[in-house]
Amino acid sequence: MDWFNKLIDTYPVFLKGMLLTFELTVVAIMIGIIIGLFFAFLKISKINILVWLSDAYIFLVRGTPLIVQIFVFYYGLTSLNMSQFMAVVLGLAFHNGAYIAEIFRGSIQSIDHGQMEAGRSLGMSVSLTYRRIILPQALRRAMPPLGNQFIIALKDSSLAAFIGMYELFNVATTFGSNTFDYLTYLLIVAVYYLVLVFLISLLARYAENRLAISD
Amino acid sequence: MKEAIMVKVEKLNKSFGDLHVLKDIDMTVREREVVCLIGASGSGKSTLLRCLNFLEIKNSGKIFIGGEQIEEHTHDLNQIRAKVGMVFQHFHLFPHMTVIENIMEAPVHVKKIPKDQAYEEAKELLAKVGLSDKANVYPGKLSGGQKQRVAIARSLAMKPEVMLFDEPTSALDPELVGEVLVTMKKLAQEGMTMIVVTHEMGFAREVADSVIYMHDGRIVEVGHPDQLFHTPTQKRTKDFLDSVL
Ligand SMILES: Nc1ncnc2c1ncn2[C@@H]1O[C@H](COP(=O)(O)OP(=O)(O)OP(=O)(O)O)[C@@H](O)[C@H]1O
Ligand SMILES: [Mg+2]
C-alpha cells in the first residue's frame, strides 16, 4: 500500500515529467518524419551523390550512441547556444530520422511500380503521382513500424535526464535519491511509461485503420 | 474517304542495353481505326505501346500523335500522355480511392476540372461500362472484369484521342473476359481509335480493322483480319497462327 500512496502523493510531479517526456518525443518524431522523408527520397532518387549522402547519414546515426548525439547538440555545439529542450529534440530527431528514412524507403518501394505507371499514363507528373498515389499508400504501410519507432523514441527520451531535464526518468531518480528508496520510484515511473506506450500503440492502430479503409 | 492519321510511327528503334527490342517499326493508325497487335511473348508488343505513351523513350525514329511529331525533350510529355489512354493487363487501379475517385483523379488534378463536373462525367462513364452501382466501392471489392472496366473508364475520363490496351483480358478468369471485350467493342463502335495487344483472336477478327503480327521486334505482316488470319502471306505469321489457334 505504501507504494500506491507514494504513487498518489507524487502524481503532480510525475505528470509534469510525463508531459515533458511526451512533448520531447512528439516534437522529435515530427521533425524526424520530415528528415526521414527527405533522406528516403534522396535514397530513392538513384542519383549517386544523393544516395551516398543518405547512406552516410544513416551510417553515422547507426554507428554512434544516441547519448553521444544528444551531447553533441548540447555540449558540443555550444556556439549555437541551444536550450536543453532544443538539444534533446534535435538529438532525438537526428537519430530517429535515419530509422524513419529506412521505414519510408521500404514502404515507398513496396508499392507496385504499376501505380506510378498508371498515374503517369493519365498525364500526372512524377511528383503529383508521388503525392496523390504513392505516398498515401506508403504512409499506411509505414504506420506500424512508425508507431514502433515512436515507442522507441519515447523510451530513448529518458536520456534527456543526463543533461538535466526533469522528464519522467529524472523525476523518478530524483525522488529515489532523496528518499533512498529507488525501487519504489522506479516502479512508479515504469507505470507512467507503460501508460504512455499503451496510448501510443492505440494511436498508431487508430491511424493505421483510418488509412486502411481501402482494403 | 480515308480518315485522318492519328498515330504514325517511322523507323522506331528501342533497345534495353544490348537488347534490341524494336527494330525499324513503321506503322500508321487512322482515326476511328482499331488495330490489334499480335505476336509471341517477348516480341516487343508491350514495348511498342509503351513507346507510344512515352512510358519508354525510343532510341531513334519518329512518333506522330494526331499529326504532330512528338519530341521527348521539347514536348510536355504529361500533356501527350493525357491524350493517349493506356489500359494495363493488371489494371493498376488506385487501391486507396473509391471507384469514382479513381476516375475523377486525373481530370481534377491534371486538367483542373471542377469537382462536381468531374463527378458527373465519372458517373456517365461508370454507366457506360455498366458499373453505376459500384461508384463508392473500393477496388479491392471488385472482380477482375469489373476492375478492368473501371480502368477503362478512368482512362476515358481524360478524353484521350487514342486508347492503348496491353493484354487487357490476359489476367482475367475466362468467364470474366467477355464483359471486358463487350466494353471494348462498344468503344470501337463509338469510333474510338484503339491499339490493342491481345491474344483474343476472336476479338481481333470481329472488331479489328487491321492486325499487325510482330516477331522478334519487327512487324512481319499487316493486314485485314480476314486476310491475315486466313491467307497469311508470311510463313512466320502462318506458323504463329497455327500455334495459337
Ligand atoms: N524495362 C526493361 N528492361 C530490360 N528489358 C526489357 C524491359 N522491358 C522489356 N524488356 C525486354 O524486351 C523484350 C520485349 O518485351 P515486351 O514486354 O515488349 O514483349 P511482349 O511482346 O509484350 O511480350 P509478352 O507477350 O510476354 O507481354 C523482352 O525480351 C523483354 O525481356
Ligand atoms: Mg507484353
ipTM rounded to 2 decimals: 0.93
- The region of weakest confidence among A111-115, A124-128, B10-14, B73-77 is B73-77
Rounded CA-CA distance B232/B95 in Å is 44
Beta carbons of A158 and A168 less than 8 angstroms apart: yes
Q: Is the pLDDT of residue B1 over 70?
A: no
Instruction: Tell me which residue of B29, B181, B163 sits closest to B84, measured CA to CA.
Output: B163
B196: pLDDT confidence band, cut at 50, 70 and 90? very high
Report domain extents, chain B.
5-242
Best probe residue, ligand 1, of B12, B13, B19 (max atoms within 8 Å of C-beta): B19
Helix, coil or strand: residue B20:
strand
Q: Max Cα separation, chain B?
A: 55
Q: Which residue of B has its CA nearest to A137?
A: B96
> What are B143's three cell numbers?
472482380
Query: Which residue do the cell numbers 498525364 mark?
Result: A123
CB of A209 within 8 Å of a chain B CB? The answer is no
Place of cell 534522396: A42
Residue A199 has pLDDT above 60, yes or no: yes
Please state, for a pLDDT cut of 90, what percent of chain A lies above it: 79
B65 close to B30: Cβ distance less than 8 angstroms: no
Chain B: nearest CA to A121, how far in angstroms?
6
Interface of A with B in 65-124 (CB under 8 A): 112, 114-115, 117-118, 120-124
Q: Give the tens place of pLDDT for each residue, B95-116.
A: 999 999 999 999 999 999 999 9
| Minimum distance, in Å, between the CA of residue B79 and any CA atom of chain A | 6
Closest CA relative to residue B217, chosen from B12, B28, B70: B12
What pairs with residue B221 in β-bridges?
B213
pLDDT of residue A214: 54
Across B187-215, average pLDDT: 95
- By CB atoms closer than 10 A (0-12, 13-18, 19+), residue A6 is middle
The pLDDT of residue B74 is above 60: yes
| Separation of alpha carbons B191 and B5, rounded Å | 14
Closest by Cα among B240, B203, B212 to B12 = B212
Name the band, by pLDDT with cuts 50, 70 and 90, for residue A81. Answer: confident
Between helices A135-156 and A182-211, what is the axis angle to 10°?
180
Q: In the predicted model, is pLDDT for residue A215 greater than 60?
A: no
Rounded CA-CA distance B92/B178 in Å is: 20
Give B157-166 pLDDT, tens digit per residue: 999 999 999 9
Q: Return the C-alpha torsion angle A126, B102, B146, B196, nearest 10.
A: -40
pLDDT digits (tens, 9 = 90+) for B9-43: 999 999 999 999 999 999 999 999 999 999 999 99
Question: What's the CA-to-centroid distance between B91 and ligand 2, angstroms?
Answer: 14
Do B245 and B238 form a contact (C-beta atoms < 8 A)? no
A-interface mutation test, from B70, B91, B109, B155, most A Cβ less than 10 A away:
B109
Residue ranges of domains in chain A, CATH in brackets? 1-211 (1.10.3720.10)
Q: How far is CA B141 from CA B106, B146, B156, B175, B198, in A?
A: 22, 10, 22, 18, 26
The residues near A87 (Cβ < 8 Å, ≥ 6 apart) are A70, A73, A74, A163
Question: What value does the mean pLDDT of chain A take?
Answer: 92
Question: Closest Cα to residue A143, out of A195, A100, A93, A94?
Answer: A100
With contact defined as beta carbons under 8 Å apart, do B183 and B152 qualify? Answer: yes
Helices (H) and strands (E) in chain B, counts: 9, 10
pLDDT of residue A1: 64
Q: What are phi and psi of B32, to 5 degrees?
A: 70, 5
Tell me, which fold does domain B5-242 have in CATH?
Answer: Rossmann fold (3.40.50)
d(CA A39, CA A3): 47
Task: Quote the distance between the C-alpha of residue A157 and its chain's center.
Answer: 9
Predicted confidence (pLDDT) at residue A168 exceeds the cutoff of 70: yes
At B67, the pLDDT band (50, 70, 90 cuts) reads confident
∠ CA A119-A121-A126, rounded to 5°? 50
What is the number of the ligand 1 atom nearest to the C-alpha of B43? Answer: 21
3-state secondary structure of B19: strand
Q: Residue B244 — very low, low, confident or very high, per pLDDT cuts 50/70/90?
A: confident
